[in-house]
Every structure is written in C-alpha cells, then in structure tokens.
C-alpha cells in the first residue's frame, strides 16, 4: 500500500502545481485585462498622448508598431521563405545545410538585446540610417528570420513527397512543382509561422530601444528615416519614467491590454487556420 | 520557338536556384556578421586606455609614485584615499586637481583667447606642489619634462573586466568596468528563476501528459502556448505593479525590486517554454513501454518515475536548458523589476543588475566608440556566448 500512498502524494502535488500555475498565469492576464479595459475607449486608441502622458491616447504608438511589423516582414518574409525553400527542396542533407540549420537555431536563441546591439552598430551607426524606422525594421527582421525559416521548413517538410514525385512525373520542372504544388499545399502552415512572428515582432522592446523608438513624437513618422513610437517601448516608458506615476498608470494598463490583444488576436488567427485546415483535410 | 522557350525556362530555373541558395546563405552571413561586429567592438575595450580618452594624469616629478590602478585613481578623486603613503609615496595629503580648478583660480582674461595660456598656468601649479595629482585634457597639458611627469596610461585588462567588483562606467577620471557584479547578478536571478520554474513546470508537464483528461489538455495546452507569446514588457509591468510591492510587504524590505522579484517574473516567463518542451518529451514515450510497466504491476507513478522519465530525460534536460537560455537573455522584464543596482549580490532580497538589463539601460547614454560603449558590447559578447552554449547543449542533449 505504501507505493499507492506515494503515488497519491505525487499526483496531488502535480495537480496542485498545475492548478496554481494556470491560476497564476490566468490571473496575470485577468489583472491586465480588468485594469486595461477601464482605460480603453475611442480617444485612447485614436489620440496622441497629452499632458505628460497622463491623458490622451496611444495612436502614434499603434501606428509605429504597425509600420515596424510591416517593415520587418517586408525584409524577413522573402528572405526567410526562400531560404527555407532552398534548404528543404534543393539542399538535401549536405554539410552546408547542416551548418546553416545550426546557425538558424543559434540565431533563434540569441537574446533580443543582442540584436539591438547589433542593429545599433550596423544599421544605425555604420550604415548611417540613424535611429529610424528602417533601422528598427531591419533589426526586427533579423529577429523574426529564424522563426520564419523554421516554421516554413516544417511546413514544406509536411508536404508529402508523393505530391512532388507526382508532379515531376507529369513532366513539370522542379520550379513549377515548387510553385504550383508544394507551396500551395504548405501555404496554411507557412501562414501560421508568419502570424506567430508578427506577434513576436510587435511585442519586442529591447531590439527597438536604440534603433527606432522615440519617447514621444508630436506627429507620425513621414519617412522610413524617421523615428517612431512603438507600443512595447511606450509601455516601458509609461511604467518606469513618468513624472506622475499614479496618473500614468491607467494609460500603462491600457497599453498593456492592447499589446496582449495583439497576441491574442494572432493566436486566435492561428488556431482558426489550424481548425480550417483540419476540416479541409478530413473532407478530402 | 519551342526551343527558345525551353532554354528560357532552364535559365529561369537555374537563376532561381542560385537566388534561393543565396538567401539560404544569408542566415549564416547574419550570424557571422553579428559575431564579427559584437566581438570587434567588444575586444576593442582591451585596447582602450583606463583613463578617459583624450585626458591624462600628471604628477610633480618629486613624487615617487609611478603607477596607479584605475581603482586607486577612482578612490583618490572620490577622496577615499587621501594620503600618498597609502600608495607608496610620502606621508603627505593628496591634492586632486581637475582642469575646472584652474578656471576658478585665474580670471577669464588670463586663459588666452583660445585657452593657449592654460598650459603654462597648469605647469606652474603642478611645479609648485609635489603632492598634486592633476587630471587634464591632453590638449592643454603642461610640457612633460624635468618638473612634470605624465602617468603612463595602461589599457583596460581582461582580469580587470572579469574580476573587477566595481561597475562605474561613467566615473571620471577613471571609469571602472568590473563585470563581476553584473555576471553574478545575472547568474543569481537566472538561478532563482530555474529553481522556481523547473519543479513547477515538470509537475505541470507530467499532469498534462499523464494525468489530465483529453479535454483538460485541449484547453490548457493552447492557454500555456498563448502565455509564451505575451511580450516581456507586459510581464515586467505586472511585476512592477503587483509582484514587487507584494514582495516588499511580505519580507518587510525597503524596496520591492530585488533579485527574487526578477527571478519570479523570469520563472513565470520561462514556464510556458519549459512546460511545452518537457510535455512533448514525456508524450513521446512509446505506449508499449508504459503498458508493459503497468502490466508488470507497477503503479502509474512508478511507471512515470522508472520508465517515462528515463526515456524522456534528454527532452526534459533540453527543456531546462532552453529555459535557462531564455532566462539569462531576458531583458525588459528584468530591467523593470530588479532595481538595477550594480553591486555584488549577497542575498536574493537585494537589488541586482543583470547583463542584458545593463546593456538596455546604458547603451543609450554611452557615446559610440568610447570605452563604455565597448564594454557594453563585450557584455553582449558574453551573453551571446552563453546563449550559444545553451543552444548547442540543448541540441546535443535532445539528439541523444
């Protein structure tokens, strides 16, 4: 009977752990949502900050984050997807591909602040872009690159080989096969990876700290060489360096909620995609 | 016509392949670039003089002292060392002298239109006092010769960087770059985070893969994955407004921003990663193994301990290593909740400063190319090496 008691103790502990971890995580979410919801209204989403960040809204930060997401994807998507196509469809298992895979995995593990350091020397100083949307987008693109490569690779590998051989047997060239057969089949999974990396890019603070982010700008950026405000940096500023902490708190809660909302939205999109894919597959 | 089209197609085909391979090479090049840039800037620190660039220290030649360490220079100008006999000189009070002092002593007319008279005045001052130590810009420096000597500027040393206990990068005349408090701060916070996160995460992973019903699992897994995607600055904000006041109250501390607060926030952030990787590992255990163990009369817990765990151990270790990597590199949340005091931590209830937080907090004010800037890059190199190591270890272990 002794071992039964042991089992009961162990399992009860795990149950308690699980409940407390989930409760903890959910209560963090709940706390932000509950407090943030009070701050969010139409003005908050469409106005600039006023009165030393204690009133007004976060519109410039939303726009800035949007620009950064678009900008970084503009660089990272073509590069990442083509790189993945090469490694999966053309590369085989050569030594170069293996080294590249290790490099990609390595890049994925590099802390975001190191990307910030790198972006600052290369894009801001050496290339002379200054603190700008361009420099920030490039830095974030590097951060998103390994994520996109990995998810695209997995998506391509998930396409059954019979699709490829079938197409080739019909006389299609390799390029046509990739374009007409492999890519359409892998598309939903590739899209999943893209959405996840959009979520990641929109929430990163450390890489944009020195490459683009501005404390406050009275107007929206007009060119890619302008600085911009961004949501995560705005939250950091509101949380740590306001003159009147109590008065800025509601704004900070609101900003945090918008950030969480973006992540929730991206995750919802992903699970929607997955479900529709499942249905499609089961119909076939 | 057909032939030409076929040729065109072939060229296209080959061109595309080249293009694809080029973009494939880009990740490799990026990594190489990061390494080159980080290390070139970082290593430059050891070629920087240990006093501020463009400045030097001058002594009267009657003073027997020939060399000072950066730490001694700092102590002299902070009036922590006040007599030359502490440095191997005569028992005389030290008179620290900065270039500003000359402006106080002489009226504006005597400086010269382009400060060309300063050097002569400074010469007089140093000549007249054997106990003076003057920190002067080299452009206005007095002529070094029979009466005045310049302390030889040494480079910042590797031992000074990795063994130094003082991180005072903006101190004049001699900034101190001792990374030990930052390294130990990072290790302390990460250690606390792992201490909290690993048992909890393993518990949850076991629950999810072995105990939970299918329905619970279907609900919990996406929730946990979702939490891995929440930006670190949001966690940091939560830590700042909820956790750190709570810790301050519970432990009766003067401030709530401590290593423990940082460790707890990091643990919360690392848990989703560890849980999902460990759960995948546990889940991969073949059903036949488990059923065989149960059929032999083992309890479920015995099966988990003796069969599932050993089988999944490499995956679990990989999960832990990934969690450590994430904790060590995490920047914003830690920056917001650890209080950022660059001192050697003794207990978890003190403010600490981690390597990533230091980079994020100081890079903005460090002039490009200066010693401070280089020191921050060197910290970046350390971070890069640590996380590279964790990735390699995780890969190696999970392959086994």
Phi, psi of B357 (to 5 degrees): -65, -40
In a domain, B244, yes or no: yes
Q: What is the ipTM of this complex?
A: 0.90
Of chain A, the percentage scoring pLDDT greater than 90 comes to: 27
Q: Select the residue from B32, B229, B242 to test the A interface by mutation, using most A Cβ atoms within 10 A.
A: B229
Mean pLDDT of B71-99: 78
In a domain, B296, yes or no: yes
Q: How far is residue B224's CA from residue B333's CA, in Å, rounded to a whole number?
A: 19
- A224: burial class by Cβ within 10 Å (0-12, 13-18, 19+)? middle
Are residue B129 and residue B205 in the same domain, yes or no?
Answer: no
The reply to whether residue B325 touches residue A25, judged by beta carbons under 8 angstroms, is no
Are residue B138 and residue B247 in the same domain, yes or no?
Answer: no
Q: Select the residue from A109, A178, A203 to test the B interface by mutation, using most B Cβ atoms within 10 A.
A: A109
Are residue B246 and residue B320 in the same domain, yes or no?
Answer: yes
* CATH no., domain A60-232: 1.10.3720.10
Confidence of residue A152 (pLDDT cuts 50, 70, 90): very high
Q: How far is residue B207's CA from residue A193's CA, in Å, rounded to a whole number?
A: 28
Concatenating the DSSP letter of every residue in A47-101 gives S-EETTTTEE--HHHHHHHHHHHHHHHHHHHHHHHHHHHIIIIIITT-HHHHHHH
Per-residue pLDDT tens for B374-397?
999 999 999 998 888 888 888 888
Residue A282 has pLDDT above 70, yes or no: no
Phi, psi of B55 (to 5 degrees): -120, 160
Q: Is A27 on the interface with B (CB under 8 A)?
A: no
Q: Is B299 on the interface with A (CB under 8 A)?
A: yes
Tell me how many residue pairs between chain A and chain B have CB atoms under 8 A apart. 245
The reply to whether residue A21 touches residue B299, judged by beta carbons under 8 angstroms, is no
Mean pLDDT of A201-205: 90
Per-residue pLDDT tens for B356-375?
999 998 888 888 888 888 99
Chain A residues whose CB is inside 8 A of the B380 CB are 113-114, 117-118
Residue A159 has pLDDT above 60, yes or no: yes
Instruction: Decide: B146 and B155 in contact? Cβ < 8 Å.
Output: no
Q: Please, which residues have CB within 8 angstroms of residue A91's CB and are 6 or more apart in sequence?
A: A97, A100, B24
Residue A169 has pLDDT above 50, yes or no: yes
Classified as helix, coil or strand, B352 is: strand
CATH number assigned to the domain comprising residue B64:
3.40.190.10
Instruction: Decide: B205 and B278 in contact? Cβ < 8 Å.
Output: yes
Q: Which two tokens stand for residue B187?
A: 């290790």
Q: What is the DSSP letter of B62?
A: T
Lowest mean pLDDT among A77-81, A85-89, A250-254, B137-141: B137-141
Q: How far is residue B312's CA from residue B208's CA, in Å, rounded to a whole number?
A: 15
Q: How far is residue B171's CA from residue B3's CA, in Å, rounded to a whole number?
A: 75
Mean pLDDT of A254-268: 89
The conformational region for residue B152 under phi > 0 = left, psi -120 to 50 = alpha, else beta, is beta
Residue B313 has pLDDT above 70, yes or no: yes
Are residue B211 and residue B129 in the same domain, yes or no?
Answer: no
Are residue B255 and residue B346 in the same domain, yes or no?
Answer: yes
The reply to whether residue B220 touches residue A120, judged by beta carbons under 8 angstroms, is no
Lowest mean pLDDT among A14-28, A63-77, A128-142, B118-132: B118-132
Sign of CA dihedral B18, B395, A143, A24: positive
Q: Which residue has the higher pLDDT, B137 or A36?
A: A36
Are residue B225 and residue B140 in the same domain, yes or no?
Answer: no
Q: What is the DSSP letter of B55?
A: E
For B:253-282, CB contacts with A below 8 A are: 268, 271-272, 275
The reply to whether residue B203 touches residue A13, judged by beta carbons under 8 angstroms, is yes
Mean pLDDT of B301-312: 89
Q: Is B19 on the interface with A (CB under 8 A)?
A: yes
In a domain, B47, yes or no: no
Confidence of residue B326 (pLDDT cuts 50, 70, 90): confident
The reply to whether residue A116 touches residue B235, judged by beta carbons under 8 angstroms, is no
Query: Which pLDDT score is estimated for A148?
Result: 92
Residue A43 has pLDDT above 70, yes or no: yes
Query: Which pLDDT score is estimated for A1?
Result: 59
Among partner residues B24, B206, B238, which is closest to A31 by beta-carbon distance? Answer: B238
In a domain, B25, yes or no: no
Q: Is B336 on the interface with A (CB under 8 A)?
A: yes
Per DSSP, helices labelled H in chain B are 2-43, 70-77, 99-105, 118-128, 158-163, 180-206, 214-228, 232-238, 244-250, 259-283, 287-295, 300-303, 309-329, 332-337, 355-362, 371-399
Q: Is B29 on the interface with A (CB under 8 A)?
A: no
Are residue B189 and residue B274 in the same domain, yes or no?
Answer: yes
Count of domains forming chain B:
2
Are residue B200 and residue B338 in the same domain, yes or no?
Answer: yes
Are residue B226 and residue B372 in the same domain, yes or no?
Answer: yes
Instruction: Decide: A83 and B24 in contact? Cβ < 8 Å.
Output: yes
Chain B residues whose CB is inside 8 A of the A256 CB are 234, 237-238
Query: Which pLDDT score is estimated for A242?
Result: 67
Q: Is A220 on the interface with B (CB under 8 A)?
A: no
Mean pLDDT of B258-287: 90
Are residue B66 and residue B126 in the same domain, yes or no?
Answer: yes
Q: Is B85 on the interface with A (CB under 8 A)?
A: no
In a domain, B377, yes or no: yes
Among partner residues A14, A90, A114, which is closest to B17 by beta-carbon distance? Answer: A90
In a domain, B353, yes or no: yes
Q: Is A48 on the interface with B (CB under 8 A)?
A: no
In a domain, B20, yes or no: no
Mean pLDDT of B155-181: 82
Nearest chain A residue (CA) to B9:
A173
In a domain, B225, yes or no: yes
Nearest chain A residue (CA) to B332:
A206
CA dihedral (B5, B6, B10, B13) in degrees, to 10, reads 70
Confidence of residue B5 (pLDDT cuts 50, 70, 90): low
Confidence of residue B4 (pLDDT cuts 50, 70, 90): low
The residue segments making up the domain with residue B311 are 180-399
Confidence of residue B261 (pLDDT cuts 50, 70, 90): very high
Residue B157 has pLDDT above 90, yes or no: no
Are residue B374 and residue B322 in the same domain, yes or no?
Answer: yes
Domain spans in chain A, listed from the N-terminal domain onward: 60-232
Classified as helix, coil or strand, B357 is: helix
- Pick the last residue of a domain from B122, B156, B190: B156
Q: How far is residue B329's CA from residue B387's CA, in Å, rounded to a whole number?
A: 7
Confidence of residue B1 (pLDDT cuts 50, 70, 90): very low
Are residue B192 and residue B121 in the same domain, yes or no?
Answer: no
Our CA angle for A202, A206, A212, nearest 5°, is 75
Lowest mean pLDDT among A31-35, A200-204, A209-213, A270-274: A270-274
- Pick the last residue of a domain from B97, B124, B156: B156
Sign of CA dihedral B135, B138, B140, B145: positive
Sign of CA dihedral B185, B188, B194, B196: negative
Concatenating the DSSP letter of every residue in B156-217 gives PPHHHHHH---EETT-SSS-EE--HHHHHHHHHHHHHHHHHHHHHHHHHHHIIIIIS-HHHH
β pairing state of B55-60 and B148-150: antiparallel
Query: Which pLDDT score is estimated for B355?
Result: 92
Chain B residues whose CB is inside 8 A of the A31 CB are 238, 242
Per-residue pLDDT tens for B92-126?
778 888 777 777 777 777 777 777 777 777 777 77
Instruction: Decide: A145 and B27 in contact? Cβ < 8 Å.
Output: yes
Q: What is the DSSP letter of B69?
A: -
Nearest chain B residue (CA) to A83:
B24
Residue A14 has pLDDT above 50, yes or no: yes
Query: Which pLDDT score is estimated for A240?
Result: 84
Highest-confidence range of A39-48, A193-202, B113-122, by mean pLDDT? A193-202
pTM for the model stands at 0.87
The reply to whether residue A28 touches residue B325, judged by beta carbons under 8 angstroms, is no
Q: Which residue has the higher pLDDT, B181 or B225?
A: B181
Among partner residues B31, B302, B363, which is closest to A120 by beta-carbon distance? Answer: B363
């Amino acid at each position: 009977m002794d071992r039964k008691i042991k089992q009961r103790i162990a399992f009860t502990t795990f149950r308690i752990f699980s409940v407390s971890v989930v409760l903890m995580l959910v209560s963090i979410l709940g706390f932000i949502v509950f407090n943030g919801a009070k701050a969010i209204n139409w003005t908050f989403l469409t106005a600039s900050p006023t009165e030393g960040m204690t009133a007004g809204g976060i519109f410039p930060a939303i726009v800035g984050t949007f620009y950064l997401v678009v900008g970084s994807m503009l660089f990272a998507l073509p590069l990442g997807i083509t790189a993945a196509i090469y490694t999966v469809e053309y590369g085989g298992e050569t030594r170069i591909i293996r080294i590249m895979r290790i490099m990609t995995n390595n890049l994925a593990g590099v802390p975001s602040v190191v990307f910030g350091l790198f972006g600052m020397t290369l894009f801001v100083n050496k290339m002379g872009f200054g603190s700008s949307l361009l420099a920030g987008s490039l830095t974030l693109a590097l951060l998103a690159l390994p994520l996109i490569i990995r998810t695209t690779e997995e998506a391509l590998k998930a396409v059954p080989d019979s699709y490829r051989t079938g197409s080739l047997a019909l006389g299609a060239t390799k390029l046509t096969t990739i374009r007409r057969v492999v890519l359409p089949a892998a598309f939903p999974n590739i899209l999943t990876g893209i959405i996840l990396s959009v979520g990641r890019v929109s929430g990163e603070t450390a890489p944009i700290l020195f490459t683009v982010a501005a404390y406050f700008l009275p107007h929206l950026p007009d060119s890619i060489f302008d600085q911009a405000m961004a949501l995560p940096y705005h939250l950091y500023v509101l949380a740590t360096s306001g003159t009147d902490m109590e008065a800025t708190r509601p704004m900070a809660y609101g900003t945090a909620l918008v950030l969480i909302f973006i992540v929730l939205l991206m995750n919802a999109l992903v699970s929607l995609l997955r479900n529709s894919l499942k249905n499609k597959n089961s119909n076939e | 016509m057909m032939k030409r089209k076929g040729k065109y197609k072939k060229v296209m085909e080959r061109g595309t392949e080249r293009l694809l391979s080029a973009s494939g090479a880009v990740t490799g090049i990026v990594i190489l670039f990061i390494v080159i840039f980080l290390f070139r800037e970082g290593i430059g620190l050891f070629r920087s003089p240990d006093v501020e660039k463009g400045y030097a220290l001058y002594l009267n030649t009657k003073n027997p002292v020939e060399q000072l360490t950066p730490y001694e220079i700092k102590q002299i100008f902070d009036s922590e060392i006040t007599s030359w006999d502490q440095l191997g000189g005569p028992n005389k009070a030290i008179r620290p002298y900065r270039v500003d002092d000359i402006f106080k002593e002489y009226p504006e007319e005597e400086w010269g239109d382009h400060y060309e008279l300063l050097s002569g005045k400074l010469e007089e001052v140093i000549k007249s006092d054997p106990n003076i130590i003057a920190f002067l810009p080299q452009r206005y420096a007095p002529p070094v010769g029979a009466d005045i000597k310049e302390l030889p500027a040494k480079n910042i040393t590797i031992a000074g960087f990795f063994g130094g206990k003082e991180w005072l990068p903006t101190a004049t005349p001699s900034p101190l770059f001792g990374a030990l408090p930052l390294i130990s701060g990072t290790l302390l916070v990460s250690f606390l985070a792992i201490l909290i996160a690993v048992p909890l995460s393993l518990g949850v992973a076991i629950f999810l893969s072995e105990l939970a019903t299918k329905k619970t699992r279907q609900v919990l897994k996406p929730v946990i994955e979702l939490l891995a995607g929440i930006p670190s600055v949001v966690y940091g904000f939560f830590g700042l407004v909820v956790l750190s006041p709570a810790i301050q109250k519970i432990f009766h501390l003067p401030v709530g921003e401590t290593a423990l607060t940082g460790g707890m926030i990091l643990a919360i952030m690392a848990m989703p990663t560890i849980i999902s990787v460990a759960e995948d590992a546990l889940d991969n255990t073949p059903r036949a193994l488990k059923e065989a163990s149960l059929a032999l009369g083992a309890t479920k817990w015995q099966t988990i301990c003796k069969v599932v765990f050993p089988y999944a151990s490499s995956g679990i270790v990989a999960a832990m290593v990934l969690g450590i990597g994430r904790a060590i590199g995490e920047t914003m949340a830690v920056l917001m909740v650890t209080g950022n005091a660059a001192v050697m931590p003794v207990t978890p209830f003190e403010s600490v400063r981690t390597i990533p937080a230091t980079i994020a907090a100081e890079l903005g004010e460090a002039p490009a190319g200066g010693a401070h800037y280089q020191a921050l890059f060197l910290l970046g190199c350390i971070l890069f090496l640590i996380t590279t190591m964790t990735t390699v270890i995780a890969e190696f272990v999970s392959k086994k």
